[in-house]
């Protein structure tokens, strides 16, 4: 989503080719991870803008994992009170338990190519991703009946 053209995205021009492709990718996905910084106890416009170009049932049948970062523990519940209702309104079949990470949990490690996570934050994130993966497996569409199965229709 970060590569979507802001000049087209902000006014909600869903006809732009890049935005159409992003919507098609969302439609094709079984699960989605929706991440946002929390600002003033809510998700930011950087998340709202792409959500605004989705169809009303843009997350229909999807399993969604909400993730959030914030500067203080005062925003801890924002992952449940801000994005969750929107994800549900967009038709998500299942919104997995999310994770909130403090900004301070991202540790600048000069030996690593990017930030690393503090141990407690890594455990919270791993737990949330594990629950998301379990939910995806649980809600996965049923496999078609193999052709050589006795239950398959006669050819």
57-86 residue pLDDT tens: 999 999 999 999 999 988 888 888 889 999
**3-class secondary structure, 88:** helix
Range of the domain at 11: 6-139
Residue 12 predicted with pLDDT over 90: no
Kindly state whether residue 27 falls inside one of the protein's structural domains: yes
Handedness of CA 50, 117, 99, 24 (dihedral sign): positive
As for how many domains the chain has, the answer is 1
135 found inside a domain: yes
Residue 1 forms part of a structural domain: no
Look at residue 41 and tell me whether its pLDDT is greater than 50.
yes
Least reliable range by pLDDT among 3-7, 76-80, 148-152: 148-152
Report residue 83 CA to chain centroid gap. 10
pLDDT in tens, 79-133: 888 899 999 999 999 999 999 999 999 988 788 778 889 889 999 999 999 999 9
The CATH number covering residue 38 comes to 3.40.50.360
Q: Is 154 strand, coil or helix? A: coil
Whether 153 maps to a domain, the answer reads no
Q: Per the domain annotation, does 154 fall within a domain? A: no
* Count of CA atoms in the C-beta half-sphere (13 A) of 116: 8
Distance CA 75, CA 72 (A): 6
* Mean pLDDT for the chain overall: 86
pTM over 0.75, yes/no? yes
Residue 39 within any structural domain of the chain: yes
Residue 151 in any domain: the answer is no
Task: Give the three-class secondary structure for 123.
Answer: helix
* The predicted structure's pLDDT at residue 37: 94
Percent of the chain with pLDDT over 90: 52
Domain contains 149: no
């Amino acid at each position: 989503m970060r590569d979507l053209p802001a000049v087209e995205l902000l006014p909600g021009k869903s006809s732009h080719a890049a935005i159409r492709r992003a919507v098609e990718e969302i439609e094709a996905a079984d699960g989605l991870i929706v991440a946002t910084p929390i600002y003033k106890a809510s998700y930011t416009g950087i998340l709202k803008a792409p959500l605004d170009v989705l169809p009303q049932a843009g997350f229909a049948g999807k399993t969604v994992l909400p993730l959030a970062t914030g500067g203080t523990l005062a925003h801890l519940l924002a992952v449940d009170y801000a994005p969750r209702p929107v994800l549900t309104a967009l038709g998500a079949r299942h919104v997995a338990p999310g994770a909130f990470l403090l900004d301070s949990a991202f540790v600048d490690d000069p030996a690593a190519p990017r930030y690393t996570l503090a141990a407690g934050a890594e455990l919270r994130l791993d737990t949330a991703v594990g629950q998301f993966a379990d939910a995806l497996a649980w809600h996965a569409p049923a496999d078609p009946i193999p052709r050589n199965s006795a239950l398959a229709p006669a050819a």
